[in-house]
Amino acid sequence: MTVKIAPSWQKQLDEEFEKDYFKKLTEFIKEDIQNHTIYPPGKLIFNAFDKCSFDDVKVVIIGQDPYHGEGQANGLCFSVNDGIRFPPSLKNIFKEIQSDLGKPMPESGNLERWASQGVLLLNATLTVRKKDAGSHQKKGWEEFTDAVITKVSEKKENIVFILWGAYAQKKGSVIAKEKHYVLESAHPSPFSADRGFFGNKHFSKTNEYLKKMGKEPIDW
């Protein structure tokens, strides 16, 4: 598996790439690519770590699986490629930004613009088979992304962690909450958005905290 990531991440994760579980995961992915269409495409699997360097991380948003529809996933959680129709969760995220900050609905669902400002858009599982949600869960990715969250929590301070839904909140159990700002609410999925996602004001709260810490706010 070709790992294209920012050099500051390479430094943090080199030892992880050498562990047995990661080598087994790599073998599984290589084999699965022979028999199935895998999303996102190989060069974008580690896109979250390429577009947002470890040194620049200010905010972490935790997702679950990449989108499994054609042309959607681009390696950043909740994000889709330019020109792709917004999936329901992403549409609800933009609705909350509109309500919270008064920003109009954007033309593109590509969230690289957030990543370039220091938002790590981290899925718990970095790959999936086409039209087969959850197909690459419990193969090693969760262990890898737990290690990523732990690194950020241990080595950095005053990071905003945004955890939407029970899965992300469980994933966030490794965060040292005494030195970071953790925001939790329901998931933006249409099944749960009305139960606490809408109105959570996570975007304005994030920016208020960043300003308080002397950091540049995010242009959501």
Residues noted as catalytic: 65
In angstroms, the CA 20 to CA 18 distance is 7
**At residue 217, what are phi and psi to the nearest 5 degrees?**
-70, 165
Q: Is 63 helix (H, G, I), strand (E, B) or coil?
A: strand
Give the list of residues 6+ apart from residue 194 with CB closer than 8 angstroms, or none.
none
Distance of CA 60 to the CA centre of its chain: 7
- Written as one string, the DSSP assignment of 174-214 is GS-TTSSEEEEE--SSTTTGGGTTTT--HHHHHHHHHHHTT
Chain center to CA of 100: 21
Quick one: the chain helix, strand, coil %, rounded to 5?
45, 10, 45
